[in-house]
Amino acid sequence: MGTFTTADGTEIFYKDWGSGRPVVFSHGWPLNADAWDPQLRLVAEHGYRALAHDRRGHGRSGQPWQGNDMDTYADDLARLLEILNLRDVVLVGHSTGGGEVVRYLGRHGSARVAKLVLLGAVPPLMLRTKANPEGAPGEVFDSLREGVLHNRSQFYQDLSAPFYGANRPGADVPQGTRDAFWLMSMQVGIKAAYDCVEQFSATDFTEDLRGIDVPTLIAHGEDDQIVPIGAAAHKAAPMVKDAVLKVYPGAPHGLTGEYEEVFDRDLLAFLKD
């Protein structure tokens, strides 16, 4: 466990477990590094150095008024890699974290990066536009912002259902999993949570994706209600040279149970290749 300070003076919390080739995880909105704990433990036990940070405004990191934008998220990640002098890194990003790692590569290049994993990631663009009819209408993201501003505790409790697919017939999602989602979400500063909606919905990562020059695994749940696969993985995979696309039938945005076990196996196999 440690902290580092960004260029604008924001303190960022990170975990650093194990030793070996570094695998750096970036979490989704509105969570923090704890969302990756099972995978951090998994890769550390298999001979890797596992790292994950709380994005600015989230979890145990500072909550500045400024800097809640994708470019700064990417620069904060770059600062972590530079301070620890990490090289031959495997970047792993879920949801908004997928946008963060893709934007990192777009802004900072792949000199320190060997491989990339995107899970349920937001690139190339979530917002519906004339050029992106597969995206979601702006009203969807307006409702997220309204939820953050008005009774966010209840909003996060409700959001945990589609996040993990608990609203699907026959779903078996432990209440504790949904409670943990709520707890992590309530640690996000309201300004950071509100600003981040714009960043994960309206940021266009098309050019970032086209510039990726490292082996890439793109994994996505077929029944993802938060980042629908048609606007995300199915469009992103053809943009990335030699990307491998793994689609998990019936899987939601947040993977639990057997879905998580399948991803864990795919992650370890990709790390070893």
Domain ranges of the chain: 2-272
**Residue range 2-272 in CATH 3.40.50.1820:** yes
Write 157-163 long-range contacts (CB < 8 A, 24+).
157/182, 159/185, 162/225, 162/226, 162/252, 162/253, 163/225, 163/226, 163/252, 163/253, 163/254
Determine the Cα–Cα distance for residues 213 and 82; give it in Å rounded to an integer.
20
150 is catalytic: no
Q: Which residue stretches of the chain have pLDDT < 50?
A: none
Q: Give residue 252's identity as a one-letter amino acid code.
A: P
224 is catalytic: yes
pLDDT, one tens digit per residue, over 97-109 is 999 999 999 999 9
The whole-angstrom distance between residue 57's C-alpha and the CA centroid of its chain comes to 15
Options 26, 61, 95, 160, the catalytic residue: 95
Say what the pLDDT of residue 242 is: 87
**DSSP assigned state of 27:** P
- Threshold 0.95, pTM exceeds: yes
61 is catalytic: no
Say what the pLDDT of residue 1 is: 77
